[in-house]
Structure 1
Amino acid sequence: MKLRIFSNKVKPLSILLVGLLAIAGCSQQESASEAKDTSAKHSAEKQPRPNIILVMTDDQGYGDFGMHNNPIVQTPILEELANESQRFTNFHVDPTCSPTRAALMSGKYSLRAGVWHTVMGRHMLNDQHHTLPEILSDAGYNTAMIGKWHLGDNYPFRPQDQGFDHVLNHGGGGVGQAPDYWENDQFDDTYFLNGKEKKYNGFATDVWFDEAIDFIHQQANKEAPFFLYLSTNAPHVPWRAPEQYIEPYKALGLNDDMAKFYGMITNIDDNIGRLRNAMRSDNIEDNTIFIFMTDNGSSMAHKSNGEPLTWLDDDVIAAIEAKTGKKLDSLNNYMRAGKSSTYEGGHRVPFFIRWPNGSLGQPGEFNDLTAHVDVLPTLLDLAGIDGQNIETDGISLVPALKEGSALPDRTLIVTNQRVLNPDPERPYSVMQSNWRYVHAEQTGGVELFDLTNDPGQTNDISAQHPEKVIELAQAYEQWWLHVIGKGTPTTRPVIGSEHENPSRLTGMDWLSPNTDQVPWWPGFGDDKWGKGHGWIGNEDKFMVSPWALKVAENGNYTLTLYLHDIPAKKVIGKSFAHLQLNGETITQPIAAGATSVEFKVPLVQGDIDIRAWFDEQTDDSALSTGLPAFYMYVEKQN
C-alpha cells in the first residue's frame, strides 16, 4: 500500500519561513519514503479484508465517560471496550458537528473539504472529494450509514450519493430540526430509509442500533467485507431518553438537563453492548476493526461554561461522593470549555480502536497528537487498500498501533467558523506537542498554554515564550493559506436531477447572513428544548434568505412553497406569494386557507439563487420584512 501522506510537522522558525509546503499539508520526501516503506510492510494480506464498524456519538465530550474522571455517568460497557482497545488520548476533532464529519469522510481539514458550519449551506460535503465509503466501496466493501449524517440533505450530498449503499438517517443535525421529518421528537419517529420515509417505533438511539444489528446479521455470511458507519444523534439536544435511563440520575439529585444528558449516554452504553453481542453471535468480532469516537466536545460542558459540576450544590456532591467512594471535583476531565470552543474541552475527544485479528499491539494508551483526518489513511492502511492517489491531511496511525512506534511530531489546527464566509480571525487552536496557541473569542486576543503543567488552560504564558508565539502564529497563517488555497466555493444542491426529483429544500440551507437567521433549533416536543424554544412560532423573526442551487437541465419546473412542511398542513395566512429567481420576482395570490402556493416556471441549466416569501404586497417591495417560505419542493416536469 502506498499512502500519499501530507505531514503537518512544524520545523524550527528558520525552516518554517522557507515556504508553505513544508508545514501546511504537503509531503516531505524523507517522511513520505518512510511512510511508503511502513505501509508496504503492513499491506500484505494474510487474511480477508477486515470489516469496519465506526461508531460516533454526538456532543459527548472526553469527560462524559465513567473512565475519564466522571463518577456520575454510568458507561461500564464503553469502559470495557476501552480496556480492550488501543486508545489515543490526545485525539482532536473540530469543535462542532459537520466540520468533524467532513474531515472524517474526506481525510482533509474541514475547510479544505468545504465544510465550516452546521447550517447556512456551509455544511454540505462537496461531491468532488473521494470519500472514505467511496474508497472502501471501490475496494469491494458493502457500506452502510445509520443515524446522523449532517453533510447535506439533498443530491449530491446525501450519504447515498457519497458512497453508502444502505442508509437510514434523520434529516439535519438533530432530530426535530427543519430538515427532519415533521414532528420527530426522538420517539416513534419517521426516518429516511434509502431516501424514502419510513415509520419506526422506539427511541431514536435504539432504532439506530436495531438497524445496525440487522445490517450486521445480513452481512455476516457474505464474502465481501462491510463498512458500517453508525452515527448517533445522542446526546445532542434535545436532551431526551427513555424514563428508565433518566430516573436513576434524578435520584442522585441531578437537575433535569444533566439527568437527561447522562441518561442518553447510558442508553448508548447499553446499545454498544447489544452491538458487540451481535458481532459475537455472528462470529465477526475477531476480524472487525471497531472504532468508537465522538464528534466534538461536550454540549453539557458548553451549557455550563466548561464545568457541569457547578450545577450541583454541596449536599448533592457529598451524597454522590459517599455513594461512589470517589472525589467529585470535575465532570469535564479538568478541561476548559466544551462544544464550539477552541479550548481543549471543545475538540479533544476519545478515540478507541480494536481489531483482535489485526496484529495490533496490546491494549493501551498513546498520547501522540492525532486527529480525525488520520482515520481515513489509517483505515486504508489497516485494510491493505492502495491509497497512493488519495490526498489527505492525515497520517496513518498503523506504526503506533502495530509496533508502538512514536508518531511524527506535527502541528494540528482546528477552527470554529460558524459564519457565512470563512474568516481567519474566527476562533482557532494551534496544537504542537503540549503547546496550545489559542484564539478562543472573536473579540479577544491569542493565548499560549503548556498542557504539561496547565491542562485546564488557565495560565497564559505567551509573554514568557515570544519565540513560540511567533512560530505558532506563522504556522497558523500558512495553514490558513493551505486550507483555503483553492477557494471556498458554495456547494449547491442540484434540482431536476434524475437522482432526486422532487427535491425538498428547507430553511436550514439558506445562505443567511448569520446563524440566528436559520431555523436550525429543534422545534418539536413538550419540554424546554421543543415547543416555544425553537423556530416554530417565531417565523416572523427570520429574514428572507436565498437557497443557492444548481439546475440540472433546462425544462419546466414546479416550485411549491410552504410555511411549514407538508404534514403540518399549516395555513399561510398571507395574501401574496413571491418567488425570486436570480433577482427576478414572480408574484401570485394566495387562496384563503391555503397551505401551499405552486409556481410553474421554465428554468435554465446552471446556478440559480431562489428566494421565496409571503406578504400582503403585490410586488417584491416587502422582501426585507416578508414571511419566509421555510420549505420549498422543486420538481422537474417530464
Structure 2
Amino acid sequence: MMLEKFRKSPIGKQIIKPFVISIFAMSTFSIFLYANANQHEKDTVQSSLPNIILVMTDDQGYGDFGHNNNPIVQTPVIDQLANKSIRFTDFHVDPTCSPTRAALMSGQYSLRAGVWHTVMGRHILSDKINTLPEVLKDAGYKTGMVGKWHLGDNYPFRPQDQGFDHVLMHGAGGVGQTPDYWGNTQFNDTYFLNGTPKKYNGYATDIWFDEAIDFIDKNANKADPFFLYLVTNAPHAPFRAPEKYIQPYRDLGVPETLALFYGMITSIDDNMGKLRKAMQDNNIVDNTIFIFMTDNGSVMGVQSKKLVSDETRSIIEKKLGQKIPSLNYDMRGAKNSSYEGGHRVPFYISWPNGGLIEPGSIDGLSAHFDVMPTLLDLIGVDTSTLDTDGISFKSALKQGTELPDRVLTVTTQRVLNPDPNRPYAVMQGKWRYVKASGNKDALELFDLSKDPSQTENVKDKYPEVANNMAKQYQQWWQYTTAKGLDTTRAIIGSTHENPSRLTSHDWLAPNTKQVGHTTGFGDDKWAKKGWLGKEENFQISPWKVKTAAKGLYQFTVLFHDKPANKVIPRQYAHLTINGQPYVKKLAKGATRVSFELPLEKQNLDIKAWFSDSKNNSDKSLAAFFIYAKRI
C-alpha cells in the first residue's frame, strides 16, 4: 500500500517511469525491451527504499566496548562500525529488557504501551498497537526477526503475530528460561522457527547470525526491501560462550565471571564481522540503514568494579601495556538502575547512500521510542497519524541540526502493578532528577555537566530545578497511565496457536521471586539459580487468558514440560477455572493429566497444582506448565 503511494507521488513518478508499449505494435524485440524495462523498474524501486537492519544486544552497557574506554574487552568490528556511524551520545532506553523492546516496537513510552516488567505477563506487548514491523510491511518491506523477542510467547503476541514474516527465536527473556524449549543451554539447542521447534547445532549467537545472514542472502537486491531485527540473547546470563572466546580473558587475568561475560561479547563482535561481510557480498551496504544499540545498561556495570580489584587491575594493565580508564564509562549504576548506568546506552546509525551527515557524534537527549518515527521519516512514510512519544532524527541526521530541548523519563517498575513511588529518573539537558530506591525521601538531583558519575546530590542547591522536574514526573505519570494498565491476556483455542503452552514465567504472582521464570539447565553456577529442584518454594499463582471461541477445551496439566517426562510427585491434580474447582486422581507414574471442559468465549483465570489430598490441604506443588487446546 505504501509502495503504491510512493509510485503515485511526484518523486515516484520521476523515479519510476512507466513503460507504455502498444500491444498492437509489440514485436519480439519490443517484448525484450518491455521485460527489461520492468526489471529496471523493480531495481529502481529497490534502490529507492533502503533495507533496514537493526542489531540489539542484551545487557551490554555503554562501557562494554573497546572504543568506550574499556581496553580489556575486544570488540574491533563494533569499534570500527562506531567510527563509521553517527553516534548518539545521550541515548536512553529502559533499565530492563522487555520495556525497552516495547518502546522500540511501539514508538511509545513502555509504560503507556503496557509493558513494565519482564515476567508476570507484564512483559507482553498488546496486539492493538501498530508495531514497527507492521508499518514497514504496509510500506512494502519483507520483515524478519532473529533471536530474543521477550514481548509475549503466545498468540497474538508472538513476533509472527506482530508483523514479522520470518522468525527464529528462543522463548522469553533468555535461553533456558521456562518458555524456551526444555533443556536449552545456548549450545546445540532447539529454537522456534516460525512457531515450530527445530533443532540446531552450535552456539546460540552463531545460530542467530547465521540465520540473519541467510535472511539477507534470500532477500537482498529484490524488488521489495527488507527489515531485519537481529536481537541477541548475549551477553545476558547465563554467561556461556565457546572456550576460544573465554580463554584469552582468563589468560589476561580477568576474573572468571567477567571473562565469561566478555567472551560472549567478543563472540558477538566476531559474528558482526560475518554479518557486515554478508552485506558487502550482497552489495547492500550503501543502501541499508544500519543501527546498532543495546537494550539497557550493563548487567556487570557494578560487579565489574568489585571483581577487578586494584591488584587485579594492575596485573591486567601490565599485560595490556596500558591503563584501564573505566569498566562502566564512569557511570553510576547498572541494569535495573535509574542512575545513568542503567539506561544510557550506545546508539549508532549509518546509511551511506541516504544523504546523512558525516560520521560523528550527535548530542542531546534521545531515546528508544524515537527510533520508529525516525526510520519511517527516513523512508518517506507519513508519520502524521503515528501515535508516538518520540521524535524524528531526520533533520539532525541529514542537516546536522541540534536535537530539541526536551524532558524524558525512565522508570524501573518490576512489580505486578505499577507504582509511582518506584525508582525513576527525569532528564532534561544535563540535569538528572533521580529516585533510586523505593524510599519516598530518596530523591536526588545531579548536574552531569559537572558530575557525570552522579556523586554529588545538588537538590538543595537548586530547589527550583528539582521542584520543576518533580512536577514533570507527576505529569508524565498521569500521561502514561491515563488509559489504565490492563492485564494482557493470551488467546487460547485459536487457529493460529492450538494448543497454547502456558508456563510459570507468566504467572501473575505477588512478586518477582514467586515467578518460575528461569528453569536452570547446565552444570555451572547459573544452572543453580533456576527453579528446578526448588519447586516447593513457589506458591500457586494464576494465569490470565481468554478463549478464542465457545467450545470444548482440554487443559493438560504438567509439573515439568513434556520433553522432561517428569513423574508428578503427588496423588491429585487440581485445576480451577474462574474459581470453579476440578480434581483428578493421578495414575501411578503419571507425567500429565487432562481436564476437558465446555467454555464460552470469555476471560479465564486459571490455577493448577498437585497435592496428596482432594481437599488440597498438604504440601501442594504448582503446575509449571499447562497445554490449553480447543478440541
* Superposition TM-score tier, normalisation by shorter sequence: over 0.9
Q: What pairs with 1:345-424 in structure 2 (closer than 5 Å)? A: 345-424=341-420
- Tell me if the contact between 1:562 and 1:632 (Cα under 8 Å) persists in the aligned partners: yes
- The structure having more radius of gyration, on CA atoms, is 2
- Give the CA deviation at 1:620: 4.5
SS of alignment partner, residue 629 of structure 2: strand
Give the letter for the 2:375 counterpart. Answer: L
Residue in 2 aligned with 1:527?
524
Query: C-alpha distance in 1, partners of 2:620/2:521?
Result: 24
Residue in 1 aligned with 2:29?
none
Residue in 2 aligned with 1:126?
126
Greater than 4 Å deviation, 4+ residue runs: 44-47
Query: C-alpha distance in 1, partners of 2:447/2:186?
Result: 42
Residue in 2 aligned with 1:501?
498
- Tell me if the contact between 1:559 and 1:599 (Cα under 8 Å) persists in the aligned partners: yes
SS of alignment partner, residue 433 of structure 2: strand
Pairing 1:516–2:513 present:
yes
Q: What pairs with 1:289-368 in structure 2 (closer than 5 Å)? A: 289-302=289-302, 304=303, 308-368=304-364
- Give the CA deviation at 1:325: 3.4
- Tell me if the contact between 1:105 and 1:133 (Cα under 8 Å) persists in the aligned partners: yes
Query: C-alpha distance in 2, partners of 1:165/1:242?
Result: 31
SS of alignment partner, residue 146 of structure 2: strand
Residue in 2 aligned with 1:471?
468
Residue in 2 aligned with 1:11?
none
Pairing 1:546–2:542 present:
yes
When normalised by structure 1's length, the TM-score is 0.91
Query: C-alpha distance in 1, partners of 2:325/2:592?
Result: 55
- Give the CA deviation at 1:221: 3.0
Pairing 1:437–2:425 present:
no
Unaligned regions of 5+ residues in structure 2, if any? 3-9, 16-43
Query: C-alpha distance in 1, partners of 2:388/2:467?
Result: 27
CA deviation vs aligned residue, 1:262-292 (integer Å, no higher than 9, x gap): 0000000010000000000000111000000
- Tell me if the contact between 1:522 and 1:529 (Cα under 8 Å) persists in the aligned partners: no
- Give the CA deviation at 1:606: 1.3
Residue in 2 aligned with 1:630?
624
SS of alignment partner, residue 598 of structure 1: strand
Give the letter for the 1:399 counterpart. Answer: S
Give the letter for the 1:207 counterpart. Answer: I
Residue in 1 aligned with 2:26?
none
- Tell me if the contact between 1:309 and 1:329 (Cα under 8 Å) persists in the aligned partners: no
- Tell me if the contact between 1:56 and 1:295 (Cα under 8 Å) persists in the aligned partners: yes
- Give the CA deviation at 1:322: 2.6
Q: What pairs with 1:576-615 in structure 2 (closer than 5 Å)? A: 576-615=572-611
Residue in 2 aligned with 1:105?
105
SS of alignment partner, residue 273 of structure 2: helix
Give the letter for the 1:633 counterpart. Answer: Y
Query: C-alpha distance in 2, partners of 1:594/1:133?
Result: 44
SS of alignment partner, residue 584 of structure 2: strand
CA deviation vs aligned residue, 1:618-637 (integer Å, no higher than 9, x gap): 13456xx6211000001100
Give the letter for the 2:489 counterpart. Answer: R
RMSD of aligned alpha carbons = 1.6
- Give the CA deviation at 1:519: 1.0
Query: C-alpha distance in 2, partners of 1:158/1:494?
Result: 11
- Give the CA deviation at 1:312: 2.0
CA deviation vs aligned residue, 1:377-415 (integer Å, no higher than 9, x gap): 000011111122111000001111111100110000000
- Tell me if the contact between 1:550 and 1:608 (Cα under 8 Å) persists in the aligned partners: yes
Query: C-alpha distance in 2, partners of 1:379/1:41?
Result: 19
Give the letter for the 1:407 counterpart. Answer: L
SS of alignment partner, residue 66 of structure 2: coil
Using the aligned pairs only, state the percent identity: 61
CA deviation vs aligned residue, 1:334-373 (integer Å, no higher than 9, x gap): 0001000000000000000010000000000111100001
Pairing 1:574–2:570 present:
yes
Q: What pairs with 1:78-117 in structure 2 (closer than 5 Å)? A: 78-117=78-117
CA deviation vs aligned residue, 1:399-457 (integer Å, no higher than 9, x gap): 11111100110000000000000100000000000000000111251100000111110
Query: C-alpha distance in 1, partners of 2:310/2:576?
Result: 59
Give the letter for the 1:190 counterpart. Answer: T
Query: C-alpha distance in 2, partners of 1:453/1:198?
Result: 53
Residue in 1 aligned with 2:215?
215
Pairing 1:264–2:235 present:
no
- Give the CA deviation at 1:522: 4.7
Give the letter for the 2:448 counterpart. Answer: L
SS of alignment partner, residue 588 of structure 1: strand
- Tell me if the contact between 2:221 and 2:284 (Cα under 8 Å) persists in the aligned partners: no
- Give the CA deviation at 1:41: 12
CA deviation vs aligned residue, 1:109-163 (integer Å, no higher than 9, x gap): 0001100000001000001100000000011000001000000000000000000
Residue in 2 aligned with 1:16?
none
Query: C-alpha distance in 2, partners of 1:343/1:63?
Result: 15
Give the letter for the 1:353 counterpart. Answer: I
Give the letter for the 2:470 counterpart. Answer: A
Query: C-alpha distance in 2, partners of 1:539/1:338?
Result: 30
- Tell me if the contact between 2:535 and 2:622 (Cα under 8 Å) persists in the aligned partners: yes
When normalised by structure 2's length, the TM-score is 0.92
Pairing 1:618–2:592 present:
no
Greater displacement, 77-86 / 517-526: 517-526
Pairing 1:448–2:445 present:
yes
SS of alignment partner, residue 261 of structure 1: helix
- Give the CA deviation at 1:524: 0.7
SS of alignment partner, residue 276 of structure 1: helix
Residue in 2 aligned with 1:191?
191
SS of alignment partner, residue 602 of structure 1: strand
CA deviation vs aligned residue, 1:476-512 (integer Å, no higher than 9, x gap): 0000011001000000000011111000110000100
CA deviation vs aligned residue, 1:178-200 (integer Å, no higher than 9, x gap): 00000100000000000000000
Query: C-alpha distance in 1, partners of 2:343/2:239?
Result: 21
Query: C-alpha distance in 2, partners of 1:324/1:354?
Result: 31
Query: C-alpha distance in 2, partners of 1:265/1:546?
Result: 37
- Tell me if the contact between 1:440 and 1:446 (Cα under 8 Å) persists in the aligned partners: yes
- Give the CA deviation at 1:326: 2.7
Greater displacement, 97-106 / 326-335: 326-335
Residue in 1 aligned with 2:555?
559
Give the count of matched residue pairs.
592
SS of alignment partner, residue 301 of structure 1: coil
